[in-house]
Amino acid sequence: MASSAQDLGPVLDKDGVRLTVDDAIATVTLTNPAKRNAQSPALWRALTEVGRLLPGSVRVVVLRGEGKSFSAGLDRQMFTPEGIEGEPSFIDLARRDDAALDATIAAYQEAFTWWRRSDIVSIAAVQGHAIGAGFQLALACDLRVVADDVLFAMRETSLGLVPDLTGTHPWSPWSATPAPWRSARPAASSRPRSRWRPAWPTSRSPHPSWTPRRWTWQPPCWRPPRRGDRNQVAAPVRDNPPLRHPASRRTSRPVPPPTRPGQPGRIAVRPQPRPCVQPPWPQLA
């Protein structure tokens, strides 16, 4: 086990990233509040290094940002011809060939992909602005705890661009649900949103006191039984209420009972619940 609150190297004390470890809980902090924790390639390399340096004993990783904003997105200095000192500007990246550009973007994406590792539970504590790349960084985590003043926006879509830092990738299966606007639409909208939809695996917490709490969120595939025995698969329709399709609000018509003596009753098969394995959520004391 790691010692309490030990630092894992001086490389994590620069480029706007700090990592501390306390037993099984690691805390990653964005430490550039003067720029509202704006992101740059140097910050992405530091986040990638954090994922590689995590001890095997860590089970929970908390991501947070100092100051009033979680992360206001990309550093606007990257859009200038001069760019950031020691870093290529977007104009320089656009001049590269496709293979070199793809390799550069893939290196940037490593800062966003390791948060979904199966051996940890990642939690983003979000307050203030989470714009563009900041929004994608919050989406990359397993869970989000948001303050009352949170403001989300995916500005790339308003410019006709694709969010290419993989933050929206975990939400792509949600677009195939019967009501995709309830889940995936906020992650693809450029309009600022302060209200948080209940379809997202997220909790709200007053700002700025981030207090430990127990996680009670159930996966979206879990459904409580309506009535009767949940394990009941087939039974005569005359002994059961009318069936209801899970993706429809209309009640189907019940099958009529047999009309002649001795005719066997018709059997209606209830839809089986979708298989779902609930992960062991951490119990934060």
Domain spanning 6-204, CATH class:
alpha beta
pLDDT of residue 10: 41
* Cα distances (Å, whole numbers) of residue 92 to 78, 81, 88, 95: 10, 8, 6, 5
pLDDT of residue 127: 94
Domain boundaries, the chain: 6-204, 220-279
Angle, CA 17 vertex, CA 13 and CA 23 arms, to 5°: 80
pLDDT of residue 256: 54
pLDDT of residue 156: 76
pLDDT of residue 158: 73
The Cβ of residue 234 has, within 10 Å, a number of other Cβ atoms equal to 10
Burial profile 213-227: b = 16 or more Cβ within 10 angstroms, e = fewer:
eeeeeeeeeeeeeee
Angle, CA 196 vertex, CA 163 and CA 169 arms, to 5°: 25
User: What is the C-alpha to C-alpha distance for residues 45 and 24, in angstroms, rounded to an integer?
Assistant: 24
Alpha carbon 81 to its chain's center: 33
pLDDT of residue 157: 74
69 φψ region: left (φ > 0), alpha (ψ -120 to 50), beta (else): beta
Q: What is the pLDDT along the chain (285 residues), one digit of tens a residue?
A: 444 444 444 446 778 999 999 889 999 999 999 999 999 999 999 999 999 999 899 999 999 999 999 999 999 888 888 888 888 888 888 889 989 989 998 999 999 999 999 999 999 999 999 998 999 999 999 999 999 899 988 877 777 777 778 766 665 554 444 444 444 445 555 556 554 443 444 555 554 444 444 444 444 444 444 444 444 444 444 444 444 444 444 444 555 555 555 555 544 445 555 555 555 555 554
pLDDT of residue 59: 95
